[in-house]
A and B are shown apart, each in its own frame.
Chain A
Amino acid sequence: MTTVIYTAHDGTETIVEGTPGVSIMETALRNGVPGIVGECGGSMSCATCHVFVSDETAAIAGEMSELEDEMLDGTAVDREDCSRLSCQIKLIDGETYRVTTPSEQV
């Protein structure tokens, strides 16, 4: 079991039980969590699944690829040090993830 806690721009929290191996973006879409668009289905083409991750989540989220790094330069809300594309973070069994979604994705 794995848990994702999504905090919206306005502070609203949504807690979802995820499936290991599925991304934070897909988990949000499948469960109708607002604040993540993910138009390209996780192929790193749209940068509409931008999230800010907690320090604990950053530590288990895996390395950022060069392409993800470039795409983050074009997000609707400017990137911060803790920015990631949530399609690139695949859930690991037993872990809990905390992400905050930006005010805009498009």
Chain B
Amino acid sequence: MGANQHDATLIVGASQAGVQLAATLRELGDTRHIVLVGDEPHAPYQRPPLSKAYLQGEITSDDLIFRTGDWFVQHDIEVVTGETIAAIERHADGGGEAVTATGRRIPFARLALTTGAAPRRLDLPGIDLPGVHYLRTADDAAAISTHLASAGSLVVIGGGFIGLEVAASARKRGVAVTVLEAAPRLVGRVVSEQTSAFYLDAHRRRGIDVVLDARIAGIEGESAAAGVRLADGTVIPADVVLVGIGVVPRTELAEQLGLEVDGGIVVDAACRTSDPAIVAAGDCALMPNPYARGTLPRVRLESVHNALEQAKVAAATLMGDPHVYRTTPWFWSDQADIKLQIAGLSTGYDATVLRGDPETEKFSVLYYRDGELLAADCVNQPLDFMAVRSALGRGATIPPEAAADTSLPLKKSVVEPTAPSLV
């Protein structure tokens, strides 16, 4: 195995996209040595359960692995854990050599960046006190879980998916939870006003205190966090503080390599960066997306599905067979017993249709532009989700007037495309 290390493919980032890229290269018949480098001290693992089943104590970190150690060995994929790539030198032939922070040198013939994203940091007085957490890694989740075991109260700063998932998990463990959101509604960056309003009510019904339009002055505490102070002087007690205010793509290496970066590593529809010999995929990549339907030149998506699909495209490109990425984006978030599934991209919508009654905690919101279906938020409505994801995937639509009719399954109202699909 690995007869010629200089012929190797180096994949920087050993999470969802990186592992999939390696696996797809093997499925496509590639036999060259692969080096998969991750900066965490763990074998590659799944992140989505960290804020959900893991924090609720239903599973342990052993349950999170993507592949067995044997699988990586059998497929000649060398997994390097706990190493950060500090610098990459390129050679004239397109290959090069990477150097880790500990001085290890990794020669490569082909390079893929699946560097992911890191939590956006908050700059506030007291933010460095022990007891203030961010959640991205298994170690972050372990620290939060340990801390919650002895905590009476949690304040979550940020009412997005990660914050609400942690809030619901902590509430399930009997912790008093307050969510502070700077905007006038929850998950405002992603979902419609109806869906935001539902989450506000649903979390309050489950005993979570939610403050909207929150203005935060700082973290209180002497030797550890004890509370969060609002601008009006109110202090909300907190043994644990979680900051979940979004992520920042990790583009440092791309910048060092002189690649085009614009709030993400700029790639084309085949995952090629501005240096076509280098591919990028996953949370770090900013790519043209047909589902944005011309409203945005490029989109950076933070989802498992996107990481997997871009990784497959990137692998095909490295094998000299570039495909165009055109798969229906989808997302999910489990909060308490509420399952949200989102299909499509709602960017640029001009109308929504509410299907069902949010009071029943089973409903969907469908998004339209110029009468065409763009996306749907489906709350505890998996059949609606499946119908919309499937319709969008084949360029079909669902007329707005039919979408509101709950007497018919949504899939019965799908209108097939008359012309070849644009997406």
Which residues of A are interface residues toward B (Cβ below 8 A)?
Answer: 22, 26, 29-32, 34, 39-41, 43-47, 67, 70-71, 73-74, 106
The 3 closest A-B pairs by CB, nearest first: A74-B386, A45-B332, A70-B382
6 more contacts with CB within 8 A, not counting A30-B67, A43-B52, A47-B386, are: A30-B65, A30-B68, A31-B67, A40-B48, A40-B304, A45-B341
- Residues in A with CB closer than 8 Å to B387 are 74
Residues 323-340 of B at the A interface (beta carbon under 8 Å): 327, 330, 332, 334, 339
User: Distance in Å from the Cβ of A100 to the closest Cβ of chain B?
Assistant: 20
Whether the pair B66, A71 counts as a contact (CB closer than 8 A) is: no
Whether the pair A74, B383 counts as a contact (CB closer than 8 A) is: yes
Whether the pair B48, A74 counts as a contact (CB closer than 8 A) is: no
Whether the pair A31, B52 counts as a contact (CB closer than 8 A) is: no
Alpha-carbon separation in the docked complex, A40 to B341 (Å): 11
Whether the pair A31, B382 counts as a contact (CB closer than 8 A) is: no
Alpha-carbon separation in the docked complex, A23 to B23 (Å): 21
Whether the pair B382, A67 counts as a contact (CB closer than 8 A) is: yes
Smallest CB gap from B70: residue in A: A31
User: Distance in Å from the Cβ of B69 to the closest Cβ of chain A?
Assistant: 10
- Residues in A with CB closer than 8 Å to B405 are none
User: Distance in Å from the Cβ of A57 to the closest Cβ of chain B?
Assistant: 22
Alpha-carbon separation in the docked complex, A70 to B378 (Å): 13
User: Distance in Å from the Cβ of A83 to the closest Cβ of chain B?
Assistant: 14
User: Distance in Å from the Cβ of B282 to the closest Cβ of chain A?
Assistant: 14
User: Distance in Å from the Cβ of A23 to the closest Cβ of chain B?
Assistant: 10
Smallest CB gap from A75: residue in B: B386
Contact with A31, one of B71, B330, B390 (Cβ below 8 angstroms): B71
Whether the pair B71, A32 counts as a contact (CB closer than 8 A) is: yes
Contact with B332, one of A22, A26, A40, A70 (Cβ below 8 angstroms): A40
User: Distance in Å from the Cβ of A13 to the closest Cβ of chain B?
Assistant: 18
Q: Decide yes or no: A73 and B67 within 8 Å by CB, A40-B304, A45-B341 being known contacts.
A: no
Whether the pair A43, B305 counts as a contact (CB closer than 8 A) is: no
Whether the pair B385, A74 counts as a contact (CB closer than 8 A) is: yes
Q: Decide yes or no: A74 and B390 within 8 Å by CB, A41-B46, A43-B48, A43-B49 being known contacts.
A: yes
Q: Is B308 interfacial (CB-CB < 8 Å)? A: yes
Alpha-carbon separation in the docked complex, A43 to B48 (Å): 10
Q: Is B75 interfacial (CB-CB < 8 Å)? A: yes
Smallest CB gap from A73: residue in B: B383
Most buried by B among A45, A46, A67, A73: A45
Smallest CB gap from B334: residue in A: A43
Q: Is B63 interfacial (CB-CB < 8 Å)? A: yes
- Residues in A with CB closer than 8 Å to B46 are 41
Alpha-carbon separation in the docked complex, A103 to B390 (Å): 17
- Residues in B with CB closer than 8 Å to A73 are 383, 386
Whether the pair B49, A41 counts as a contact (CB closer than 8 A) is: yes
Residues 280-326 of B at the A interface (beta carbon under 8 Å): 304-305, 308
Alpha-carbon separation in the docked complex, A45 to B338 (Å): 12
Alpha-carbon separation in the docked complex, A53 to B1 (Å): 37
Q: Using an 8 Å CB-CB cutoff, how does the interface string of B116-159 with A read, 1 for contact, 0 for none?
A: 00000000000000000000000000000000000000000000
Whether the pair B386, A30 counts as a contact (CB closer than 8 A) is: no
Smallest CB gap from B48: residue in A: A41
Residues 347-393 of B at the A interface (beta carbon under 8 Å): 382-383, 385-387, 390
Whether the pair B71, A74 counts as a contact (CB closer than 8 A) is: no
User: Distance in Å from the Cβ of A105 to the closest Cβ of chain B?
Assistant: 12
CB pairs A–B below 8 angstroms (13 shown)? A22-B63, A29-B66, A30-B66, A31-B68, A32-B67, A39-B304, A39-B308, A43-B52, A47-B382, A67-B382, A70-B383, A74-B385, A74-B390
User: Distance in Å from the Cβ of A28 to the closest Cβ of chain B?
Assistant: 11
Alpha-carbon separation in the docked complex, A32 to B23 (Å): 8
Alpha-carbon separation in the docked complex, A70 to B67 (Å): 29
- Residues in B with CB closer than 8 Å to A47 are 382, 386
Whether the pair A67, B339 counts as a contact (CB closer than 8 A) is: yes
- Residues in A with CB closer than 8 Å to B339 are 43-45, 67
Alpha-carbon separation in the docked complex, A26 to B67 (Å): 9
User: Distance in Å from the Cβ of A65 to the closest Cβ of chain B?
Assistant: 11
Smallest CB gap from B75: residue in A: A32
Q: Decide yes or no: A71 and B382 within 8 Å by CB, A30-B71, A31-B71, A39-B305 being known contacts.
A: yes
Q: Using an 8 Å CB-CB cutoff, how does the interface string of B271-284 with A read, 1 for contact, 0 for none?
A: 00000000000000
Alpha-carbon separation in the docked complex, A40 to B334 (Å): 11
Alpha-carbon separation in the docked complex, A30 to B383 (Å): 29
Alpha-carbon separation in the docked complex, A29 to B65 (Å): 9
Smallest CB gap from B64: residue in A: A41
Alpha-carbon separation in the docked complex, A67 to B380 (Å): 9
- Residues in A with CB closer than 8 Å to B71 are 30-32
Smallest CB gap from B23: residue in A: A32
Alpha-carbon separation in the docked complex, A32 to B67 (Å): 7
Whether the pair B383, A45 counts as a contact (CB closer than 8 A) is: no
Whether the pair B67, A29 counts as a contact (CB closer than 8 A) is: yes
Alpha-carbon separation in the docked complex, A22 to B49 (Å): 15
